[in-house]
Amino acid sequence: MKALRILVIEDQNFQRKMIVHMLRSLGAGEVCQASNGRQALDMMQAKHALPFHIVLCDLDMPEMDGMEFIRHLAKLYPAVSAVIMSGMDYAVIASVEKMARSYGVKLLGAIEKPASLKQLEEILELHQQIETEAQRPAAALASFTLEEVLHALSENQFEPFLQPKIGMDTGSIIGAEALARWIHPEHGVIAPGAFIPLLERSGNMKGLTFMMLERAAHARRMLDENGYPLIVSVNLSLSSLADTTLADSITRVVRDAGVDPHHIILEITESAAMSSVAEALENLARLRMRGFGLSIDDYGTGYSSMQQLTRVPFTELKIDKSFVSDSANNSSLRVIVESSVDMARKLNVKSVAEGVEVMEEWDMLKDMGCDVVQGYFIAKPMGSDAFLDFCTRHIPVESAW
Ligand code: C2E
Ligand code: CA
Ligand code: CA
């Protein structure tokens, strides 16, 4: 457990000492004590005072009672977690709990006195759990409404993060996949799981698709100007392909950014049965003729992968990370990956493995003759400035090991 700084506020000496003792026996780090709210605040506000992680507070105390202390705590130290302790009956504790939450205190809970070792242990565990969750990317916690996402689109809050694609023959960076990130003014960087399904379901993908295309094309130009003429991949959901004007609009956006379509790959995901088959094929044939690379994304998970292969004039087969990750240890995954690589070779298209996380997978894919790899083993997706920096520092993987 992380060393925690805890403050126990309780006017009854015996009770306070017991709690301090129990917290220490649970390995809590530093445990301080105060006999009322006033004294506690003085301690917290003292010069050079280190911040507390958790404050346990009695309610009925002389000078400054627990309710008043909680009000100050909410205002002065909103990041500190609080626990209410009381011998009062349940209804009183419940109403103070409600009050504390209304003031905006990070309340871990309330415990009835006398506190038991088990209760204290649970409180510490809960604190740990909440802290761990807070460190996860915001995307995992925050959920948004369609309205918020559309507003963010109108405010241009989305940008492509780039993840390098490495050529197996040389070990150098040959391209990057542009993955949508919402740079939320409050929550920071949000992953696509929190907004793409909303946009897909409501038929609003077009705005994001074009914003991503335009920005990814600009990133490609910036990289080229810095001496890295890479191929940039952009994701395109099959549902957008029903509109037969799409190929022309895509070509226009890319050319307007000063980029030749030969330097862009469109990764197409089949997430549902293709309904407008003819329109999609018309778009894809036209995009291919204009020079765009076409990739079958998430190969193996799609609705009817085999059928797609014969229809689409694609240039790349991208093996989904659900097969690649852990394939070095799992023989059935390995068979799927290997036969996908073989199939790509027979069809004369490039094989790309995504989700490569460890060296063993890299080695295995190299033995199989996979052309391109992408995954956390090389790098996570990053903003375009960081990506440029990554390019300048990258040592071809083969020579690095
Ligand atoms: P995808 O196209 O299959 O993209 C690969 C996903 O795997 C990305 O997740 C990437 O960050 C993640 N990834 C890369 N390497 C590793 C690895 O080694 N291990 C693991 N566990 N994951 C890895 P992300 O960025 O969250 O994107 C999720 C999906 O959202 C994408 O899956 C794609 O289908 C969709 N998406 C993202 N941006 C766009 C976009 O601009 N347009 C459309 N239509 N879809 C997008
Ligand atoms: Ca993709
Ligand atoms: Ca995938």
Tell me, what CATH number does 54's domain have?
Answer: 3.40.50.2300
Would you say residue 151 lies in a domain? yes
CA distance 217 to 157: 17
Three-class SS state of 366: helix
Kindly state the average pLDDT of the residues 128-153. Answer: 78
Lowest-confidence segment of 141-145, 256-260, 316-320 by average pLDDT: 141-145
Whether omega before 114 lies within 30 degrees of 0, making that bond cis, reads yes
Would you say residue 201 lies in a domain? yes
pLDDT given at position 400: 40
pLDDT in tens, 230-252: 999 999 988 888 899 999 999 99
Kindly state the average pLDDT of the residues 378-398. Answer: 88
What percentage of the chain reaches a pLDDT higher than 90? 67
CB neighbourhood size of 81 (10 A): 23
Say yes or no to pLDDT of 397 above 70.
Answer: no
DSSP 8-state symbol, 355: -
155 shares its domain with 127:
no
175 shares its domain with 205:
yes
Would you say residue 140 lies in a domain? no
CA distance 277 to 295: 17
Look up the domain containing 343 and give its range.
146-399
Residue with tokens 């609003």: 204
Task: Pull the structure tokens for residue 24.
Answer: 């220490």
Within 6 A (CB) of ligand 1 lie 163, 179-180, 191-193, 196, 208-209, 212, 235-237, 267, 269, 297-298, 321, 325, 354-357, 375-376, 381
190 shares its domain with 296:
yes
231 shares its domain with 297:
yes
112 shares its domain with 155:
no
- From 75, 100, 135, the end of a domain falls on 135
326: confidence class by pLDDT, cuts 50, 70, 90? confident
CA distance 197 to 200: 5
Would you say residue 189 lies in a domain? yes
82 shares its domain with 186:
no
193 shares its domain with 52:
no
pLDDT in tens, 68-101: 999 999 989 888 999 999 888 878 888 888 888 8
| CATH classification of the domain holding 209 | 3.20.20.450
223 shares its domain with 265:
yes
Residue nearest to ligand 1 atom 3, measured at CA: 298
What percentage of the chain reaches a pLDDT higher than 70? 93
Say yes or no to pLDDT of 325 above 80.
Answer: yes
Would you say residue 29 lies in a domain? yes
3-class DSSP string for 334-349: HHHHHHHHHHHHHHCC
182 shares its domain with 124:
no
CB 266 within 8 A of CB 294: yes
300: confidence class by pLDDT, cuts 50, 70, 90? confident
Into how many domains does the chain fold?
Answer: 2
Please indicate whether residue 141 or residue 391 has the higher confidence score (pLDDT). Answer: 391
Would you say residue 262 lies in a domain? yes
Task: Pull the structure tokens for residue 296.
Answer: 């079958």
Residue 64's nearest CA partner among 12, 115, 10 is 10
Give the E-state strand segments of 35-129 in sequence order. 54-58, 81-86, 106-112
Say yes or no to pLDDT of 271 above 70.
Answer: no
- From 135, 161, 182, the end of a domain falls on 135
Whole-number average pLDDT of the chain: 90
Residues 6 or more apart in contact with residue 55 via CB below 8 angstroms? 6, 7, 9, 40, 73, 80, 81, 82, 83
135: confidence class by pLDDT, cuts 50, 70, 90? low
DSSP 8-state symbol, 231: E
DSSP 8-state symbol, 192: G
Say yes or no to pLDDT of 139 above 50.
Answer: no
Which atom in ligand 1 lies closest to the alpha carbon of residue 161? 25
Would you say residue 183 lies in a domain? yes
268 shares its domain with 167:
yes
Say yes or no to pLDDT of 337 above 50.
Answer: yes
- From 78, 111, 135, the end of a domain falls on 135
171 shares its domain with 269:
yes
243 shares its domain with 116:
no
Residues 6 or more apart in contact with residue 176 via CB below 8 angstroms? 162, 163, 164, 165, 219, 223, 230, 231, 232, 233, 387
pLDDT in tens, 37-62: 999 999 999 988 888 999 999 999 99
- Cα–ligand 1 centroid distance for 194 (angstroms): 12
Please indicate whether residue 27 or residue 302 has the higher confidence score (pLDDT). Answer: 27
- Cα–ligand 3 centroid distance for 158 (angstroms): 20
Would you say residue 141 lies in a domain? no
- Backbone φ and ψ of 376, nearest 5°: -60, -25
DSSP 8-state symbol, 372: E
